[in-house]
Each structure stands twice: as structure tokens, then as C-alpha cells.
Amino acid sequence: MIFDTDTENAPDAINEQSGMKTPNVSGLELRLAHPQRLGLRKRLGLGLFSKLYRDQVERHPLRTLFWECTLRCNLDCRHCGSDCKSDHVLNAATKTTQAGAAPTAPTAPAPQPQPQPAHSAQPAHPAHPDMPIEDFLKALDSITPHVDPHKVMIVFSGGEVLMRRDLEKAGLEVYRRGYPWGMVTNGMLLDEARFASLLKAGLHSITLSLDGFERDHIYIRRHPKSYENALRALRLITKEPSVAYDVVTCVTAESLKRLPEFREFLIAEGVKAWRVFTIFPVGRAATDPALQLTDAQFTELMEFIRQTRREGRIRLDYACEGFLGGYETEVRDNFYHCSAGVTTGSIRIDGAISGCTSIRAAHHQGNIYTDDFMTVWNEKFQKFRRREWTRKEQCADCRMWRWCLGGGMHLYDDNDKLLLCHYNRLNG
């Protein structure tokens, strides 16, 4: 069976038929169109989307605000420090209003970002204590006169947010101010009583980390009860119609083999929205080859997502982290864009103001303890919004730059050096 990555573009597709082969996914031999080639319709779509994105950059309406409320965690995940974490709770909030099929026409930049990169475990002995709720609320109250709270999603992230016994208090205060709120969790502490208490505090959306079947999940999470507890959480969440949710999965070379089976498992469990990430080679993940996909496996994953989306039995997306060439709109609902500093902001554990919680400290723009958040939001963030500085090294002559803008901000190290290009992986 032959698949092409852009079948709507026959003239371009003909030239693409001699593309590369990838390893086997779900028993089918796949002959892929060369992902470097973009068909005419997709190019037109990208052009229109770029205009909409530029307009969004000019207006930079705050739509999602992460609060990194704790660095404490009850797990010690192998990938801690990588970007395989779960900021992507926003997806749980936004996807409920979006169609499952990938659009072929351009859409406006999503009102809330897809960070994506996601995010989870932190050191067992955090370097910073939890931020007092009052400090966060003071910053939030300074933001409120400048926004419509109903249009700004507040996302509690960590660490493991449920380590905070006062999370419900924070949620209730946020809810009283008119903001929807959500959270990212590993599910370890999410039993029936805690879930009920969170719902009472106005919980609107939730992202649960589940990294595959028991063996794969425990390998990554390194706790014998991590799978059992995450499954308990999953079964609570899927039965609660008032909460938007998605399941996030870090895909490794091992778990990739079982992904088709895991998809069937999730469908049988009633999961409607699923998001997968690949592990970024920083932190612990950089020294653990078992966590990384080869370039061929990365392409295999893209193909798996594309096929799953076409089947339409579960909504599956890849994270927001990089431009994917011919796979644009095939593995995500929207064209690639980095919403950090454009519609997504964050308040980090130490008060630092940034774009999303996956971004390194060197790119922080201010601090709530010394600066007014909205002044920083409106007057700084130039690095996030004017991306010409990324046009160097491998991006200098890249023909994709006009759509990619050098990739997600979290892909840059402290010296503004790009660490990974997803598009080039697909051409590896």
C-alpha cells in the first residue's frame, strides 16, 4: 500500500512518489512522499496562515497563562529536564471546540498554544519552594483589567501539581476571578476524592501523562504504582463529562513498537483526545539513548499519527514543537506555530515571566516580584515575536524559514543556538 504525504496535490505528488521507505508501522509497508516537498495547496495555506500569525504577533493577546506552582514531584522520571513534559494541557481546553480532522485551509493561530511541549517531573528535592498562592494571585489581579478572564486559560503546571494540598484553594480563587483553569498531572494522587474536590474548585481541563502500557510507563516513570495510579486517574477523567481532557504520551523507541496496540487500548477506554511527544535531548534524556527516536522512527511516528487521524477513531496530535514540512496539518490540526510570547505566557516557580514553561531561563523576560506582568508582556518578548535573529547557522539559507521561523523557542539553548530541527529529522 502506498501513501503520499500530500495527496491533494497531484502535480507535486507525482514527483514525490519515489520517496523513502520507512520501517514497518502496524504491518503495512509504507512508501512515503518526500516530506521536504510541499504541495501547492499546502504552500498557499502556509502563506495565508503566516499572515494570520503575523497579525496575532502584532496583537499578542494573552490566551494561556501557565503557573509553575511547584517543583515538588512524587516521581523521578527518566526524561525529567527534557521537554517531554506536559504544558500541553491547553490542548485539553481547546480541542473540545475543534474538529477532529486536519484542516487543509488555513486557520487562525489557535487561541491557546499547544505546548505543547509538555512537561512533568522535576527533581525530588526541588531547588525552589512552592510559590505562595497570594503571590500568583497578586500578579493575576494586575493582569485582569487588561484581559477578558473568560478568554484566558490558567494552567497549573509543575513538578506534580497535586503535591500541593492547597491547589483547590488556588483553583477556586482563579475561578472566582472568572478564569477557566486546568492542570497537568501524572495521576499518582488523583483518586476519586481528590478529583471530586478539584471539580468543586472549578477544574475545567486536565492533561494526564500516560506513556504507554505498564512496562513502558513504569520504565519512564520509575515508580511501581505509577501505571496503576495513572490508569485509575484515566478512568475517572474519561467518565466526567464536565472536564476537557487529553492524554499525553512520551514516545520512545520501545513504546513506538506498541503504539498501534496502545491506541486501541485508549479507544477501548473511551479516550477521545490523545497527544504524543518525542523526547528532546536535554537534561537526563540527553544521556539516555533508550529515550530517543532515530530519524527513521520519528518519520514512522509521523506516519502513525497521520494514519490514525485519517481513521478518525481518536483525536491524535503531535506536539507543537517544530515545523514538519509535508506533514503540516497531517499530524496536528493547525499549521505549526510557536505561541510562546504571542498568546502564551508563564509565571515560573521563582516569579520569572516567560513564554511557556519549556523555555530555558536564559530567555526569561522579567519577574513578577520586580516587574508588572502586562508591562513585560506588552513591551518585551521581542525575541519571541521578531524571529529574524534565528536566521543563522542551519536556518540561514533554509527555504522553510518563512513558515518555520526557526522552530519553537524551547529548542534554543542559553546561547540562542538551535538544538534540534524536526524538519531536518524528517529528511535525515
Which residue has cell 505546548? Answer: 115
* Closest-CA residue to 207 (of 169, 233, 175): 233
Burial of residue 96, with CB atoms counted within 10 A of its CB: 0-12 exposed, 13-18 middle, 19 or more buried: middle
Residue 130 and residue 170 in contact, taking contact as beta carbons nearer than 8 Å: no
User: CA separation (Å) from 299 to 75, 254, 306?
Assistant: 30, 15, 11
Sheet-wide strand order for 64-68: 315-318, 273-278, 244-251, 203-209, 181-185, 153-157, 64-68, 344-347, 352-354, 366-367
**Choice between 64 and 74, CB closer to ligand SF4:** 64
Helix (H, G, I), strand (E, B) or coil at 275: strand
Q: Which of 295, 394, 417, 428 binds ligand SF4 (CB under 6 A)?
A: 394
> In the range 345-364, which residues lie near ligand SF4 by CB under 6 A?
355-356, 358-359
Applying CB under 6 A, which part among 12-20, 143-151, 241-249, 417-425 lies near ligand SF4? 417-425
**What CA–CA distance (Å, rounded) separates 183 from 160?**
10
Min dist. Cβ of residue 2 to ligand SF4 (A): 26
Applying CB under 6 A, which part among 92-100, 109-117, 209-217, 251-259 lies near ligand SF4? 109-117
Min dist. Cβ of residue 280 to ligand SF4 (A): 9
**Choice between 25 and 404, CB closer to ligand SF4:** 404
**Choice between 220 and 338, CB closer to ligand SF4:** 338
Min dist. Cβ of residue 423 to ligand SF4 (A): 4
Which region holds residue 112: left if phi is over 0, alpha if psi is between -120 and 50, else beta?
A: beta
Q: Which of 139, 216, 408, 425 binds ligand SF4 (CB under 6 A)?
A: 408
**What CA–CA distance (Å, rounded) separates 370 from 99?**
42
> In the range 292-331, which residues lie near ligand SF4 by CB under 6 A?
320-321, 323
Q: Is 382 in the site for ligand SF4 (CB under 6 A)?
A: no
Min dist. Cβ of residue 309 to ligand SF4 (A): 19
Q: How many helices (H) and strands (E) does the chain have?
A: 15, 10
Q: Is 113 in the site for ligand SF4 (CB under 6 A)?
A: yes
Which residue has cell 497549573? Answer: 156
**Choice between 227 and 412, CB closer to ligand SF4:** 412
**Choice between 38 and 395, CB closer to ligand SF4:** 395
Residue 420 and residue 280 in contact, taking contact as beta carbons nearer than 8 Å: yes
Report the largest interatomic distance among the alpha carbons of the chain, rounded to a whole angstrom.
Answer: 61
**What CA–CA distance (Å, rounded) separates 325 from 38?**
6
> In the range 188-207, which residues lie near ligand SF4 by CB under 6 A?
none
Min dist. Cβ of residue 173 to ligand SF4 (A): 26
**Choice between 35 and 351, CB closer to ligand SF4:** 35
Count of residues binding ligand SF4 (CB under 6 A)?
30
What are the start-end ranges of the H helices in 157-294? Answer: 167-176, 192-200, 214-221, 226-238, 253-257, 259-268
**What CA–CA distance (Å, rounded) separates 374 from 404?**
27
**What CA–CA distance (Å, rounded) separates 68 from 152?**
16
The helix, strand and coil proportions of the chain, stated in percent and rounded to the nearest 5, come to 40, 15, 45
Q: Is 395 in the site for ligand SF4 (CB under 6 A)?
A: yes
**What CA–CA distance (Å, rounded) separates 374 from 215?**
45
Residue 85 and residue 278 in contact, taking contact as beta carbons nearer than 8 Å: no
Min dist. Cβ of residue 125 to ligand SF4 (A): 26
Q: Which of 75, 84, 407, 425 binds ligand SF4 (CB under 6 A)?
A: 407
Applying CB under 6 A, which part among 20-28, 65-73, 110-118, 154-162 lies near ligand SF4? 110-118
Q: Which of 9, 82, 116, 297 binds ligand SF4 (CB under 6 A)?
A: 116
Using CB positions, name the residue nearest to ligand SF4: 408
Min dist. Cβ of residue 32 to ligand SF4 (A): 18
Per-residue x/- marks for ligand SF4, 325-344, CB under 6 A?
Answer: -------------xxx---x
**Choice between 236 and 301, CB closer to ligand SF4:** 301
Q: Which of 131, 233, 398, 426 binds ligand SF4 (CB under 6 A)?
A: 398
**What CA–CA distance (Å, rounded) separates 116 from 84?**
9
272 DSSP 8-state letter: -
Residue 324 and residue 422 in contact, taking contact as beta carbons nearer than 8 Å: yes
Instruction: Using CB under 6 A, list all residues that contact ligand SF4.
Output: 113, 115-117, 320-321, 323, 338-340, 344, 355-356, 358-359, 394-395, 398, 400-401, 404, 406-410, 418, 421, 423-424
